[in-house]
Structure 1
Amino acid sequence: MRQTGDNAPVGLFQSGGLSSLAVGVWLRELPTPARHYIADIGQADPPELDALASSVRRFGDESVVVDLRPSIAAVASDLLRYRARHDGGYWNTTGAARFVLVSGLAPLMRADGCGALAHGCVGGGNDQRRFARYGAHLAPDLPVVEPWTDPRALERFPGRETMLAAVAEHGLSLDPGSGAERSTDASLAGVSHESAELEDLETPVTRLDPRWSEWPEQATAEPETVTVLFREGRVADLDGSGPDPVEWMKRANDLGARHGVWLRDVVERRIIGTVCRGVYEAPGLELLDRAWTRVLQASLDGASRELYDRLSAVLGSAMYEARWLEPAARAAREAMDRLVGEIDGSVTLSVHRGVVRVERMKVAGPVVRQTRFGSGGNRWS
């Protein structure tokens, strides 16, 4: 591990997952002073995050909880506006969280005198590269410590079983979705699931234990309706939520999860060129996308929609590969803003046991809509 100089602490992105907690143990044993930064991005209720921070302080390290829910909600709004998805329709919620973590926490780490930033992401994975790219772009003065590429860390913790034993020994508060054989990565935008069992492509997805959501057949028996209002190409209200993305994402997540609208089970192409299975919950984005797609279809002419879809693919790759701040992604967002920035409309959805149906809609846009029977039935107008 590179020295930070003058015994400056390492700023550790602390999720409460097994890997990042084990990194905290490893840094303490080196010994290297660490300050744990716990971002509230909607992954858990505040008391759970406070319990994590308290366990870190009892362990003997400094910790701080930082509310980044507005930031992750704003990025979720971008994912929807640009339909920035990856293979199989995955909503890029993990890549979005890495962007929010580095952009939100690196300035605090610098202000607190940290000499480097560290994370618990596995060696050779997507997230290792995401932290490296965003770190180089947003905090080039802070070296990125990657423990699971350090032989000393791998010798200390050759597997997740030894990590789990150390975390339990020190009484650190472990996220309930993390263990020796499984892990989850959650935010207000959605949840990713990984496990030894799910890595086997023959394992049925029904073996998954969702973090938030119901399976459709177990969902509430009564359908619900919800109206989504769009102004200038963004969600402005969801049944009285108002325009705050934190509020409408929470409502959309609750509704989608309650009715079993959430699942993406994909075999995705990864940054390094391999493929792996990914299972994801994004109930809010899945629900809202039904409304937004309908508005797009009624608002954009054919050439504009074709361009929108091409640029959407560019931004899906950019978020997945941590290139969201690079020139191609910025140019794609600017072009898409021109396409959708004047779209207003509302869509009422019926939601029931995994099915989202458009009940009615209104839209104001530049596309001329034709009718036949409104013109006598014998001609288009």
Structure 2
Amino acid sequence: MSTPEVNKVVLAYSGGLDTSVILAWIKEHYGCEVIAFTADVGQGDSFEGLEAKALASGASKLYVRDLKEEFLTKYAFPTLRAGAVYERKYLLGTSFARPLIASHQVEIARLEGADAVAHGCTGKGNDQVRFELTFQALAPDLKVIAPWRQWDLGGREELLEYAVARGIPVSQSKTNIYSRDQNLWHLSHEGGELEDPWQEPNEAMYQITVSPEEAPDKPVEIVIGFEQGYPVSLDGTPMGPVELVTTLNKIGGEHGVGRIDLVENRLVGMKSHGVYEQPGAAILSTAHKELESITLDRETLHYKDLVAQKYAELVYDGRWFTPLREALDAFVEVTQQPVTGEVRLKLYKGNIIPTGRKSPYSLYHEGFATFGADDVYNQADAKGFINLFGLPMKVAALAKQKREGADGK
């Protein structure tokens, strides 16, 4: 395959093993200027020394942008309000981080006059799709460099050897070979013993949650406040998005909540086994669903569950910048108008236990729901309702009896 001519490329750069090697590899193989871009989405890095490392690896400059607020308000919270969960467990933390990062990568490419963008995603994973669909949606004219699909380096062991040979400092070793992705919404783990789905994850792998067995013996109770589906407070104290999620990650992690072990269907056609730590996201997801249970009518709630599955697929597949996702957001926006109130939760040894929910727009009416005496519901009315509701079934049964009688059965 011929190498396209590239003058300047913007690389999505983390400073980890893959992108450190990629930076040097692009310089070697394309002979072009490489601008590194790092997005702070709450991965917990200090970024100290990152610029020096990027420059030493061959970058002409490094951009670092704090995207934590945008990550939560424009990506995580809209997905939360939609109720989107991929394959019953995954709250999509990596999935919607990629279009955010790629969109800023495009912005920097325009600012710098670059004619190409590059990423460090493997040819087996979902992230290559998420990055490149964003590039296609926002800057279809830019060339895309994807070294994992081009080079002959076979795996992370060979990348380590490549880095050592060229004096590129990396933090991974052959005994610490997990592939991780962290942001404010979650921390994912892949590789190592996880490649065997029968193998129990090594407890030493976990980084932000304690094991449920080691969690405190006494539960903690918290109250999450929402306004129109957006989480806005903890225990009655207003909090901005970053502070709220950071605080919930800490509290949830201490009580062992939010651990997810999932064999998922990747978009590219294979199954993969991953472990996610998502304490804050799990708490907010549970609380949001509880508040919807008293503020949304039956038809809206049930239909929203259908929309949520489609929304999750769009996000997982990297189709964030599509008309359909925007249209679904419009639907979600209408449904979230009454989703204001508070939810009380008990966190105990890996469990998130709802213990109360209230809203000024609650549709729950104690007078209608009570099993005691009331003067707002005539139970005799139920007979006519059942007769009408079951009429199609009755007609079908009568027709079946007539047919079977005619057949002599």
Same fold, judged at TM 0.5 (above):
yes
> Do residues 266 (structure 1) and 262 (structure 2) align?
yes
Partner of 2:320: 324
**One-letter code aligned to 2:105:** L
Kept in 1, the 8 Å contact 2:203–2:211? The answer is no
> 1:265-296 deviations in whole A, cap 9, x for unaligned?
11111112322212111111101122111101
Partner of 1:64: 63
Q: For the residues of structure 2 that align with 1:44 and 1:173, how far apart are their CA atoms?
A: 19
**One-letter code aligned to 1:184:** R
Partner of 2:23: 24
> 1:146-192 deviations in whole A, cap 9, x for unaligned?
11111xx22xx232112112334555454569977321011111111
Matches within 5 A, 1:222-241: 222-239=218-235
Partner of 2:34: 34
What is the CA-CA distance between 1:107 and the residue it aligns to?
A: 0.2
What is the CA-CA distance between 1:78 and the residue it aligns to?
A: 1.6
> Do residues 78 (structure 1) and 74 (structure 2) align?
no
**One-letter code aligned to 1:232:** Q
Q: For the residues of structure 2 that align with 1:142 and 1:242, how far apart are their CA atoms?
A: 43
> TM-score if structure 2 supplies the norm length?
0.84
CA gap of 1:52–1:167, structure 2 versus 1, over 3 A, is farther
Partner of 1:333: 329
> Do residues 278 (structure 1) and 274 (structure 2) align?
yes
> Do residues 53 (structure 1) and 51 (structure 2) align?
yes
**One-letter code aligned to 2:70:** S
What is the CA-CA distance between 1:90 and the residue it aligns to?
A: 0.3
> 1:333-359 deviations in whole A, cap 9, x for unaligned?
111211122321111222122122223
My pick for the range that moved more, 264-273 or 174-183, is 174-183
Q: For the residues of structure 1 that align with 2:24 and 2:68, how far apart are their CA atoms?
A: 27
Q: For the residues of structure 2 that align with 1:336 and 1:65, how far apart are their CA atoms?
A: 33
Q: For the residues of structure 2 that align with 1:92 and 1:259, how far apart are their CA atoms?
A: 22
CA gap of 1:198–1:374, structure 2 versus 1, over 3 A, is closer
Partner of 2:246: 250
What is the CA-CA distance between 1:208 and the residue it aligns to?
A: 6.0
Task: Tell me the C-alpha RMSD between the 2 structures.
Answer: 2.3
Q: For the residues of structure 2 that align with 1:328 and 1:141, how far apart are their CA atoms?
A: 23
Residue segments in structure 2 that go unaligned for 5+ positions in a row: 377-409
Q: For the residues of structure 1 that align with 2:283 and 2:173, how far apart are their CA atoms?
A: 24
What is the CA-CA distance between 1:80 and the residue it aligns to?
A: 1.4
> TM-score if structure 1 supplies the norm length?
0.90
My pick for the range that moved more, 238-247 or 63-72, is 238-247
Residue segments in structure 1 that go unaligned for 5+ positions in a row: none
Kept in 2, the 8 Å contact 1:88–1:264? The answer is no
What is the CA-CA distance between 1:207 and the residue it aligns to?
A: 4.9
Partner of 2:289: 293
Task: State, as a whole percentage, how many aligned pairs show the same letter.
Answer: 29
**One-letter code aligned to 1:119:** H
> Do residues 379 (structure 1) and 374 (structure 2) align?
yes
The structure number with the bigger radius of gyration is 2
Secondary structure at the counterpart of residue 197 of structure 1: helix
Secondary structure at the counterpart of residue 265 of structure 1: strand
> 1:198-223 deviations in whole A, cap 9, x for unaligned?
01111113456112111111223432
Partner of 2:200: 204
